[in-house]
Amino acid sequence: MWQKKITVPVALVVSVGVYFVHYVLYKGFNVYGVWPWFDAPMHFVGGMLAGLLGGAIYQAGERGRQGKVHWIIPLCFVLGMVSAVAMVWEFHEFLLDAVSIYAGNGGAGHQASIDDTMKDMALGMAGGVMVYLLVWKMRFEEMGV
């Protein structure tokens, strides 16, 4: 399915590129003001990108390794990476709101509620599972993992 090798630098460049596109859509075009539902696909895509990066890191660490690893190990690694990125992202959103409130702007509205935070993290995890199933599962099987 995938002819090109997905390396850590490639995964980082793609992730940073998508982040900047997101930033332009957010700041330049007020996409969240126009379409409030746009938050959900962005968290799903963010989970996919974190899963892509997590899989690339795992794959880099497996080079030259002998023997077979149970499929749950790379899955847990990828999902752990997605969880860590989701946690950092949600903390980032919390800080943006806190700084905005402190500055007297009434909050930026990133953290609507704890329900919103949990939904965002679940969507990120779903994106990570999706990229694992579509990209990494087959690659890891080819590697003998």
- Going from N- to C-terminal start, the domains of the chain cover 8-142
Residue 65 to residues 60, 80, 81, Cα–Cα distance (Å): 10, 21, 21
List, for residues 11-59, the tens digit of each pLDDT value: 999 999 998 998 898 888 888 888 888 889 999 999 999 999 998 998 8
Entry pTM: 0.81
Q: Which has the minimum average pLDDT: 86-90, 93-97, 100-104? A: 100-104
How confident is residue 1, by pLDDT bands cut at 50, 70 and 90?
A: very low
The answer to whether 89 touches 39, Cβ cutoff 8 Å, is: no
Q: Is 21 exposed, middle or buried (0-12, 13-18, 19+ CB in 10 A)?
A: exposed
How confident is residue 76, by pLDDT bands cut at 50, 70 and 90?
A: very high
Residue 144 has pLDDT above 70, yes or no: no
